Chain A
């Protein structure tokens, strides 16, 4: 299945916009993605292995947190996963003018 990588995280997957993985569940797909790209893993998961609060993952148009089986949800090749991080748009470091 295809996993869509948002612009801010593409630097950790050799600048690819989508990564294709072989997986039977949402969890396996994410595992396959982060195993192949360990730098990305740090940005998606906390040290305790929880998905970070400023990143959401959608199976097609549905947030995986709201799927009945969550990460155990089975996936087909035609499904897609999207990683949607929060974006603010401009200055992130300070509110004061640079």
Chain B
């Protein structure tokens, strides 16, 4: 039995980062293309979470009859779609009007603040301020004990079943396999990178940047080897030992956010609409001259961003196991930090920024004892530090 350590904090940080990334994707889209630092995004996250709740657990909402509960995944999909509709409504009713008046950045900030006030209080008005939970199947956390022994690495998995800690598996990797695995991962990663990279000129647009694809290849190799090349345990007299707690929830959240990032990236880079969006981000007037329907682009941007916000809200509500009217606003600061850190113009940047923020929050809390209430503060110290050195953000200005 070993205790959780830095590795566990890192994994937790990645999950936190994924939740933040869900919000950061949408916010960076609006920030970049619609040029609105949208303070209502946090409250849109709340709205999304509650929209899914309407279908998943209607009994908790005072004015609704208890018409039965939809499965969580279905409710999530309906919630995301409805949030997209709401996004279209406020783009058409509010932001388009202000864009037609050529409102400046500050006016847009204040307008989004007003919208944030309306959205948050709409939730308070309709649902009240009590904590509510989704109805989801119970998730069992598996603890992975990693033991570094003389013979290699031993992994023991345990689960808590009916109050008892049950060992569900034990396997290991001898040293030669670990070394071979690392070499294989490096080789695969580099091979993917080298094969995929093209002769670059200024028209080259990678769907996935070669470096990211290479890194993904390496990680995939390690994971595949880890799953399929399981040998017998290498002893339990460990030199170093650490524990990671993982469950389906964590994996799902990571997978959903990475999928959302990928889909958004595909839309932006391969479709005609995506090209129009990127052109609008670069220069709206020039894009319009070239026949881009800017209004349509903006509508799509707001709808997609609202859907991403709702997705982030549903994941947050599921991850944190309860929903409060303030949940979105509390996430807004780390999300802004992630977006600015990542440079506002790319989905990868937003996710990378979010991962840095998430990791620094959880690892920071682990490394500095007694700092658990300073999670958001840690994120901000990182952001301020970066802004002091590079006021345009890590990946440069828009």
Q: Are A and B interaction partners? A: no
Q: Enumerate chain B interface residues (CB-CB to A < 8 A).
A: none
